[in-house]
A and B are shown apart, each in its own frame.
Chain A
């Protein structure tokens, strides 16, 4: 009864009102009043409550306003005086339509999110499924792969049900030797067909675990990874995949070169938060290639991992879902990895993602084919649509140039009217996103990320759209150090060119207006375009600042943690101290030794008191400790068993990774933050960046009892 009433209400009241709201034309003045009243109303409603249904109302208002704007654009602004203007005008309309569609899909994807809980494991471990851990690698150095493997060995899971394999596509002897020493499986193959997917599929033929956990070779898992994920497979026999977040403990190039230590959500947080949780709500979680567990039986249904595209992960999930399998997203950070180190590598990586997603769009379009529910189709579609951003983004960047430099107008009608329609649409779109995702992505930062990549992606996007079977897999290099700061002009050459043009246009436009005897321009149009160009310019400069690579010399990440340690001196004196930070290559302790003593009786070993078992490491002091409150040491020898214990100490704890909590977004503040980041980058100022695990001191077992 209630549902019938509701439907009736929608049909009789909401639908017609919406329709007329969208199509009624108004004068600029009326539209200002109407638009800004709507914005005011939306802000008022929004401030009343944080409840979900208020968000839904807000989304509705936003979409209506955007639709109204698009309707206006299509019906009133598409008259052009010349062919070139028409061409450019339609291009702009296309870009705007893209944004509009993506806005719709995003609002849908983000408005209902699932907060999945860990399914506890059954009490009897003998009923637990067997698990193969796959660590695929191609050319990454041993020192990176090694810790991932050792961390996998620290997983809390019955020994006889857990097998760990290095899948080496590089056929490297040192890796084989390491695997033997560490006592894990080593699988390699004679060719590298189908890259990572081929590598995984090859291994699947050789191992037999019920479940397959995949970790990229730089994703170090915590010991509870399997206990937290496997339960879901026991509870839901149709579950094919559970994905967990990719968390990066080293700063990505944007964080390092542009945030400069500021507290801003990084690029991944939106996707591995609201987006995947939203997908999960519709049973449309994607596989992201790593930090996930997959059911072997389900993979048999799809003939293994998908290899037709360069993003095998998303495509595999799509194929699994077409066969009726479920996927899940567990929003708990259970592994940590290294972010791409340099901008150029970041661009290469995203290039692959974009090409892959567009390949899937062309070859296995989620709107077509069998087996998916409508929400699943929309979620997958949105993921692929997102990666078309390059072309529209470039169009938005250069459009203000057209009027300011050439005087062509690509939108028919008065600037005032256009602005009166666009303003409420833009404000509401930003305002609503900020309310929905403000803790995961600050306003305008999405634009910065996109601008950074888009010039490089335009041509690949077009090529792949035309010829989707073209393209090969490339591996992202990680773990490199940047010795000296430098400016990677090559990576941002297009940005520099467009930025110069914009800067020129911002001056040239007003000059034109001041010389009416030579040029014929409208003040309002000049102002609108100058403002737009200035906004674009600020985003571009922010992107360019990312190319100013700041040094990152630490060989391995250093994490702060306070735990008791023992210091052995050559004479046999053994003293207690407190560990302050630890990395795979050394550590820092409170200085409890007198300077003179240290000279004649150097420290030789350090013992970490862990709950597991004591670990001793050979060390050598670094730096001058005479006046310091701390002693710094470098590990001189790290045999595998010792290294595993350090990995356990450093990475394996259940609470190793905490999700950073950011304060709520504020649209205006966020824009000024971007300007402040630019300023700091240009003046080479830097806020202290610390990877801090906020970990509690482990209750240390005193002695052996």
Chain B
């Protein structure tokens, strides 16, 4: 039942990378994971080894049956691991989706198999910046992850987050948002300073960091999880550390490398 949304004010900061790799980590640890792509770019599926020409997705049925259960579009990637691609879409389809998402209770009632399922962990990936989907999912999200790049621009993004400017309201109603500094290169002084700044000023919202590591890019090109491409990848390690921290915050039980979900929502 926990839903983690991964979004950011800026593009190309590693949302999709983080979503897919966290999904792998959790699935490997024994949690049932559904990774949902809510970005019309429809790129996340590639991170899960789907062939480029395979353009299935939940969007394809939206015109014929707007209330269709997205579960039918799930693709099983691995034991415990499911991906829900956006699918190849036209403008008309995207407008219908936005309209449906804006409907009160659409996710909670129509898509309850996914969003109200105590046995699965949902990781949702979004397009950069504001989107209708992000707003709609904020109602069912437990925790929002915000990857940011530790560059000069991130300072202004910190304050944007602090002022709830992205959605003109909170990113979720449960555990709030957590920043992940991505592509951190400690060889660069500015990077270290931004980290220090974030540690001092945003400490309660700072989940951790991921090193800049070309293994990430190479793994993406080979459609592999980073840890598989390079067992010793620092980015992969950092993402595992993030997963452990998330499990603690969300109240998962971590037993001998297995992460078990507790139903935690009160309704």
Contacts and interface: CB of A to CB of B under 8 A. Distances in A.
A49 interface: no
Interface string A547-584: 00000000000000000001011011111110000000
Contacts of B69: none
Contacts of A592: 231-232
B233 interface: yes
B232 A575 contact: yes
Interface stretch (B28-36, B79-87, B124-132, B210-218): B210-218
Contacts of A605: 187
Nearest to A566: B234
B211 A574 contact: yes
B241 interface: yes
Given A605-B187, A703-B208, A614 B192 contact: yes
B237 interface: yes
B206 A704 contact: yes
B144 interface: no
Given A566-B234, A616-B187, A574 B213 contact: yes
B137 interface: no
B258 interface: no
Contacts of B187: 568, 605, 607, 616
B38 interface: no
A576 B195 CA distance: 20
A568 B230 CA distance: 13
B212 A574 contact: yes
Interface in A291-309: none
A705 interface: yes
B201 to A, nearest CB: 12
A481 interface: no
Interface residues of A, number: 22
A575 B230 contact: yes
Interface string B160-204: 000000000000000000000100101100001001101100010
Given A592-B231, A592-B232, A704-B208, 8 more contacts: A573-B218, A575-B215, A576-B237, A593-B232, A614-B192, A702-B238, A704-B196, A704-B206
A576 B233 contact: yes
Contacts of B199: 704-705
A572 B212 contact: yes
Nearest to A570: B214
A573 B203 contact: no
Nearest to B196: A613
A577 B233 CA distance: 9
B260 interface: no
B186 A607 contact: yes
B245 interface: yes
Contacts of A568: 187
Interface in B212-267: 212-215, 217-218, 230-235, 237-238, 241-242, 245
A568 B215 CA distance: 11
30 contacts: A566-B234, A569-B214, A572-B214, A573-B218, A573-B233, A574-B212, A574-B214, A574-B215, A574-B234, A575-B215, A575-B230, A575-B234, A593-B232, A613-B196, A614-B192, A702-B208, A702-B241, A703-B181, A703-B208, A703-B209, A703-B238, A703-B241, A703-B242, A704-B181, A704-B196, A704-B199, A705-B203, A705-B208, A705-B209, A705-B245
Given A566-B211, A573-B215, A616 B232 contact: no
B18 interface: no
Contacts of A615: 186
Contacts of B237: 576
Nearest to A618: B187
B22 interface: no
A633 B17 CA distance: 32
B207 interface: yes
A591 to B, nearest CB: 10
A145 B213 CA distance: 37
Contacts of A703: 181, 207-210, 238, 241-242
A78 B159 CA distance: 97
Interface string A630-664: 00000000000000000000000000000000000
Contact of A704 (B195, B214, B230): B195
A271 B238 CA distance: 49
Contacts of A573: 213-215, 218, 230, 233
Interface in A598-628: 605, 607, 613-616
Tier of interface size on chain B: 20 to 34
A573 B219 CA distance: 11
A704 B212 contact: no
A609 B54 CA distance: 42
Q: Which of B184, B207, B211, B231 gathers the greatest number of chain A CB atoms within 10 Å? A: B211
Contacts of B186: 607, 614-616
B38 to A, nearest CB: 27
A568 B203 CA distance: 27
A607 B238 CA distance: 14
9 closest cross-chain pairs (CB), A and B? A703-B208, A572-B214, A575-B232, A574-B213, A614-B186, A703-B209, A702-B241, A592-B232, A574-B234
A629 to B, nearest CB: 14
Nearest to B209: A703
A680 B232 CA distance: 44
Contacts of A569: 214
B198 to A, nearest CB: 6
A643 to B, nearest CB: 16
A572 B199 CA distance: 25
B12 to A, nearest CB: 16
Nearest to B204: A705
A196 B195 CA distance: 45
Given A702-B208, A705-B203, A574 B233 contact: yes
B234 A704 contact: no
Nearest to A571: B214
Contacts of A614: 186, 192
Interface in A685-705: 702-705
Interface string B6-42: 0000000000000000000000000000000000000
A372 B91 CA distance: 98
B175 to A, nearest CB: 15
Q: Which of A566, A569, A705 gathers the greatest number of chain B CB atoms within 10 Å? A: A705
Contacts of B232: 575-577, 592-593
Q: Which of B186, B196, B206, B242 gathers the greatest number of chain A CB atoms within 10 Å? A: B186
Nearest to A568: B187
A613 B197 CA distance: 13
Nearest to A609: B186
A703 B232 CA distance: 16
B213 A572 contact: yes
B233 A704 contact: no
A138 to B, nearest CB: 36
Contacts of B230: 573, 575
B215 A704 contact: no
Nearest to B184: A704
A241 to B, nearest CB: 40
Contacts of B245: 705
Contacts of B192: 613-614
A607 to B, nearest CB: 5
A65 to B, nearest CB: 67
Contacts of B212: 572, 574
A662 B146 CA distance: 56
A556 to B, nearest CB: 23
A569 B186 CA distance: 14
Nearest to A604: B187
B267 to A, nearest CB: 30
B6 to A, nearest CB: 17
